[in-house]
Amino acid sequence: MFGKGNGGTSNAVYFVRILVGAHLLYIDYQIFDDAMAREGMGKIVMIGFMILFAITGLVLIMISLRALLGLSSGTEKKEDKENGSKPGDTDDVKQIEESEDDKGEM
């Protein structure tokens, strides 16, 4: 569960990032009532921090979920280059082709 994820980063790091992002969204929710009660410059500052916390929390959650679920297309291409495989190739197909080549040589 806490093995290495994409790029050698531990999956635990991604879970911590998700928790931090969720905490920022929770803080954003708590600030909302206080921000609406204020007036003048204080209200503008509070709304600014609400926007900052919301964006930061959502970005942390989205990036970490993408990395955990392996939806990043860059890592798939990197793995294909390392393995020397073409899109659509699988290890099973390669093994079948190799065994057919071996049978043909006999």
Q: How do residues 48-102 score in pLDDT, each as one tens digit?
A: 989 999 999 999 999 999 988 886 555 555 555 555 555 555 555 556 666 666 6
Note the pLDDT of residue 83: 57
Residue 53 burial (10 A CB sphere; 0-12, 13-18, 19+): buried
Q: What pTM does this model have?
A: 0.57
Average pLDDT over residues 31-54: 87
Residue 11 burial (10 A CB sphere; 0-12, 13-18, 19+): middle
